[in-house]
Structure 1
Amino acid sequence: MKNTVIATLALLTLTPGLSQAAPLDLGGVQQAWAQCQYQQSGDKQETCLEQLSGEAEQASAAAPFNTDLLIWSAIVQSSWAGAKGGLGALSLVKAAKAKLEIAIKQDPKALDGSAYTSLGSLYYKVPGWPVGFGDDKKAEQLLKQALALNPNGIDPNFFYGDFLIEQGRKAEAKRYLEQALKAPDRPGRTLADQGRRTEVKGLLAKL
């Protein structure tokens, strides 16, 4: 009986959409995000990310000085915005932007500079003035800061490569995307790494 209870609590902790006795920890948020991002699509993906965003927000609120959780709350929220699309997503990306700016002030090196990567990606994906805050120069500055902190990481190389493609700088993009494929596996992030590598290969195939 005791083992059954423990197993049930573990499932509740790691599965978005189920009631939880305690907020998700960092690993739980990361695993659930990968499931939403790479194992769902369409309306199901949007619903999955919306629900997880609330849970990540709860986890971050329960540990307000945990910069890692704050970053991941922003990542989930911006992913939800991407799945949602349209002008209705603008308030979500603005909220994610504010969280990432706070995270950088708290600890710019947290998660190997992931806040710079995520914020940089928002700056080149969001429309510019007067609709949004998009700014390609700011995006490149932030993405380069992320690479300075984590030059071999899969995410900073992927997002900078994606940015360079959008800028028409394909030769440069190829170098960073190839580096992303060489990035070492991240402990506990198998699904995320597999999904990201598939995205990298998709971009390389278009070059």
Structure 2
Amino acid sequence: MMKWMAAAFVATGMLASTACADEVDNAVLVLQHEWAQANYKTADDKKEAVFKALVDKAAALDAKYPDRAEPKIWEAIIRAGYAGAMGGVSSMFNAMPQMKQGRDLLLAAEKIDPHALHGSVYTTLGSFYYMVPGGFIGFGDDDKAMEYLNKAIAMAPNDMDANYFMGDYWMEHKKYKKAIPYLEKVIALPAVTDRPVYSAGRKAEAVEKLKKAKK
């Protein structure tokens, strides 16, 4: 009897864990879709408000599941989108706290599960470190950017974002020949399952950068 009860408790725990995982995965997929709509389908003058609302939604999901890496990763990505959408003279001062908070979320996610979402922790950290200014303004660091981007490519060589941001890194440093194979790979990769808007948008960005790289 005791063995049966123990087995029942284990089975119940496994079902609860699976249900929780499904709930988090589904909620993250919703964030991914909403981010894609905000990033690729929203007018520039409306993006800041849309991203602000999305930040609040992502933060709530992270607060609900603090031991999961995926909500932290997507809160960081959305905060970066919010920072990028900010306008006006003071945008740099308003945006930088969002980027710093995003970086801290990613570092926390790395401790939980560095393999989550095909190594998106490393892809996103890499992009943060080369996009953000260094010095007194921000935490930008090209060496750290390359370290993280290399980890991302090693972990997920066929990931669309890992290749895109490696290509973009080389574009930013005017190393166009180095950028070309990564951008070409983004264009050649199949669309990401269940993320058509993102896939089309990312591929379109890669096409435009590849044109510049080949000039």
Which of 175, 189, 193 lines up with 1:187 in the alignment?
A: 193
Aligned counterpart, 1:95: 101
Q: How do 1:94-113 and structure 2 match up within 5 A? A: 94-113=100-119
- Which amino acid counterpart does residue 55 of structure 2 have in structure 1? S
* Superposed CA RMSD: 1.1
Q: Give the match for residue 76 of structure 2.
A: 74
- Between the aligned partners of 1:146 and 1:184, the Cα distance in structure 2 is 18
Q: Deviations over 1:66-105 (max 9, x none)?
A: 2111111111011111111422100000000000001111
Match of 2:19 in 1: none
Q: Provide the rounded CA distance (Å) in 1 between the counterparts of 2:72 and 2:192.
A: 20
TM superposition score normalised by structure 1: 0.86
1:124 paired with 2:135, answer no
Per-residue CA distance 1:29-79 (angstroms, 9 max, x = gap): 111111100001322011111110100110111111121111111110111
The normalised TM-score by structure 2 is 0.83
* Cα deviation code 1:155-195 (max 9, x no counterpart): 01010100001112110100110011122221111100001
1:185, 1:193 → 2: CA distance?
A: 5
Using the alignment, how far apart are the partners of 2:68 and 2:85 within structure 1? 26
- Counting aligned pairs with the same residue, the percent is 38
The separation in 1 between residues aligned to 2:151 and 2:167, in whole angstroms, is 14
Separation in structure 1 between the aligned mates of residue 143 and residue 160 of structure 2, nearest angstrom: 22
- The equivalent residue for 1:203 is 209
| Consecutive unaligned residues in structure 2, runs of 5 or more | 1-25
d(CA) in 1 for partners of 2:164, 2:171: 11
- The answer to which structure has the higher helix fraction is 2
Q: Which runs of 4+ in 1 moved over 4 A?
A: none
Bigger radius of gyration, 1 or 2? 2
Letter in 2 for 1:32: E
- Distance (whole Å) between structure 1 residues aligned to residue 212 and residue 43 of structure 2: 22
C-alpha separation in 2, matches of 1:128 and 1:60: 28
1:148 aligns with 2:154: yes
2:59 paired with 1:57? yes
Structure-1 residue corresponding to 2:13: none
SS of 1:157's partner is: helix
Q: 1:134 Cα shift?
A: 0.3
Which residue is equivalent to 1:168?
A: 174
Aligned length: 184
Q: Counterpart in 1 of 2:35?
A: 33
Deviation per CA, 1:108-144: give whole Å up to 9, x if none.
1110100111111010010001111000111011011
Counterpart of 2:16 in structure 1 is none
Query: What is the one-letter code of the residue matched to 1:67?
Result: A
